[in-house]
Structure 1
């Protein structure tokens, strides 16, 4: 996968855009994400049902993956089973 690719969840409404991608399978709600939305949605696993927030960036602990949520949903994002966390915003410089 390459930056700019949009992925859709198989278990909820979540859609993400890849900003940075390493090796591994991008998942939402415990199921792999794909280029096309399936006709019938599954259900997110209980371990991966924390939800996603629109406009937030999600990263892995190593910094190899960065995803931008463009449509929120009930499933949470992970890479090969490892949960992604939201990326903190950079603090603005102080104005004295």
Structure 2
């Protein structure tokens, strides 16, 4: 299982993330359909982006999974972040209370 603070990179695009909240689901974390690898690992030469998972991601945004896993994008790319083939959801900011 991945630990909080683990840095990962995509095998098919420029995406890089940091694990903010780990869960067992992140063992199947993918970007553009290909498994993500620790930063510094060589890219797989035969990895291809899945056209159905190429909607991109946004630098500085957090993406979450239903079980509570959360990753922060540190470098954006064209691949969609997913657990298996299920895309992660963009985490919405919580509204601040009114200060009337």
TM-score (norm 1): 0.90
The answer to whether the aligner puts 1:38 opposite 2:39 as a matched pair is: no
Task: State the 1:30 CA deviation.
Answer: 0.2
Query: Given the superposition, is the C-alpha separation of residues 75 and 41 from structure 1 closer, same or farther in structure 2, using an over 3 Å criterion?
Result: farther
- Counterpart residue number, 2:94: 90
Q: 2:31 aligns with which of 21, 28, 32?
A: 28
Q: Work out the CA distance in 2 between the residues paired with 1:28 and 1:21.
A: 17
Q: 1:61 aligns with which of 66, 69, 89?
A: 66
In the TM superposition, what is the alpha-carbon distance from 1:90 to its structure 2 partner? 1.0
Q: Which is worse superposed, 42-51 or 24-33?
A: 42-51
Superposition TM-score, scaled by structure 2 size: 0.87
Segment of structure 1 superposing worse, 32-41 or 22-31: 32-41
Give the structure with the larger helix fraction. Answer: 2
Q: CA RMSD in A?
A: 1.6
The answer for unaligned runs of 5 or more in structure 1 is none
